[in-house]
A and B are shown apart, each in its own frame.
Chain A
Amino acid sequence: MFSKILIANRGEIALRIIRACHELGVQAVAVYSQADKDAPYLQLADEAICIGPPDPAESYLNIPRIISAAEIADVEAIHPGYGFLAENVNFARICRDCGITFIGPPVEAMQLLGDKIQARKLAQKADVPIVPGSEGTIEKDTEALKLADKIGFPVVIKAVAGGGGRGMRVVHNDVSFRSAFYAARAEAEAAFGNGSVYLEKFIIEPRHVEVQVIADNDGNALHFYERDCSIQRRYQKMIEESPCPVLDERTREKICEAALRIIKKANYVNAGTVEFLLDKDKKFYFIEVNTRIQVEHPVTEMVTDHDLVEWQLRIASGEPIELSQRHIKHTGVAIECRINAEDPANNFSSCPGTITRYIPPGGLGVRVDTHVYQGWTVSTNYDSLIAKVIVHRQDRAGAIATMKRALREFVIEPVKTTIPACLEILSHNLFVKNKIDTGFVERNF
């Protein structure tokens, strides 16, 4: 096990990693920008190094400053968290070249799976169904339109280097195709520096189902079952749960095994998530692999009672996975609500400001992952996530009831948050009856 690592991230995930480090007896070095200088989790870290001004480009995204901090603190490894540099191939490569272990997949696996087209090809080789679509990138809108007609509308134009729903356009007919094609390319170029796009059939009213996996350096891989993340708004997840409430055992087994086949074929190491779409006939289609720990990882931790960040540290330090799949069990139902500083009544516009009154919820089965405290100022520099509330109860009805009780208790003043929107969703008839899909939020709210 490492004796000292650096966390190249901030906020709740930095705190999460500090906690896993301390349980393993690993010293945690935190880096921070001047905007985060008063964050209390820095006091929990064994060392804290200021790496720059608030602007992420000058701090959390600044590779030279982070590597320099790693060198002066003399750490053995870097945990990139999620977002920022977590899926940056260049950063992973630089860590390797500097003799610092990157806590995540090898450069080659990250590069392969980070290219959505290569990932789709790999899935096919692994005998995993993919969404019907283009073989590779499509350069001309005429070529794309021909393929769209062949696959059948509606189709979705997606960025090869994409993520977070950017560089994506759903097109329902050939009339709007050309402008959507160019818009998607422009957005992809702006967001990812790569305007290449590909085409997929748009699955009607799908569920987003993802499988949590880990793999070690010896090729052993385990899954921790699935999460259903269908409650999304503009491709940003709002509510996640495990298990997926509409999966039968047979399909669960098939989808989890499909995920492991992809991971093994990619020679993937460490924690990752394989994403699928589930259509109305319970058929699943591979979408992409997220080569990092995810925001919603606590949902899986609650139902399986495994510390995923600890697994990341163990695998990265060279420990083999000594458990077998039959040791991984899931019990009960866990739900997570992401609480953002956004005003649902005002089109979810972000609401920065100082939180003058903060009282988090508690009680049986309630977990709150946050860096926020009374007096914290939510700034515009970074994402608007304030806290993650995760509940775990014996069944879905119990989990929903506990989550609603917890959200009602949660005091965050005076900033506006997405708590009211979460409460509405949790009370919605369709959500309760499991008749939802990824378009549910935008259709009903």
Chain B
Amino acid sequence: MAQENADLLKIKELIEMMKENDLAEVEIKHGDDKIFLKRSQPQPPAITAVPVIAPHVSSALSGANAAQASVTEAASSGPQQKTNLVEIKSPLVGTFYATPSPDSEPYVELGSPVTSQTVVCVIEAMKVMNEIKAETTGTIAEILVTNGQAVEFGQVLFRVKPD
């Protein structure tokens, strides 16, 4: 038990060291003991991975919204992290709302668990509020749009880390 605790402490220290030194992989061999730690890739500088067309849509927004949107996109993952994330895309053209009403809490936040039936947002199209369901199971890993932002068909709204 004590040995396990000591091992755990060591591993935690190693993880800290990896983070501080920005290491991706560490392998330590000590006789027959071997420990191998692999860290998911560090974030590359924020390159907006949206298609060329998207700037046209965001220019429809107020400056504040546009700035917020690009900050959120920058903070979200670089290309490497997307390979196993499931995208929730807009099935409509309209306005994205993160909350059911102006004063309430958002439907989901980073880290929120979702199932296929979880409502993740509302998209307003022609005065009709359409509840958008996750249609996947997992945890919200990224939120790529902001409250009140205009969205087009197929635009990625959330990325979900599958269970």
Contact = CB atoms under 8 A, between A and B. Distances in A.
B74 to A, nearest CB: 22
Contacts of A68: 92-94, 125-126
Nearest to B150: A72
B95 interface: yes
Interface residues of A, number: 25
B9 interface: no
Interface of B: 51-53, 56-57, 59-60, 92-95, 125-126, 150-155
Interface string A21-47: 000000000001010010000110111
Contacts of A32: 53
A131 interface: no
A52 B155 CA distance: 10
A305 interface: no
Contact of B95 (A48, A52, A65, A72): A72
Contacts of B126: 64, 67-68, 71, 98
B125 A50 contact: no
18 contacts: A32-B53, A37-B51, A42-B53, A47-B56, A47-B57, A47-B59, A48-B53, A50-B154, A51-B152, A51-B153, A52-B93, A59-B153, A65-B93, A65-B125, A68-B92, A71-B94, A72-B94, A98-B126
Contacts of B52: 43
A188 B31 CA distance: 84
Contacts of A43: 52
A4 to B, nearest CB: 10
A20 interface: no
A49 interface: yes
A69 interface: yes
Interface of A: 32, 34, 37, 42-43, 45-53, 59, 64-65, 67-69, 71-74, 98
B60 A47 contact: yes
Contact of B125 (A47, A59, A64, A74): A64
Contact of B155 (A45, A50, A69, A71): A50
B56 A46 contact: yes
Contacts of A46: 56, 59
Contact of B93 (A37, A42, A53, A69): A69
B37 to A, nearest CB: 41
A48 B152 CA distance: 9
A45 B56 contact: yes
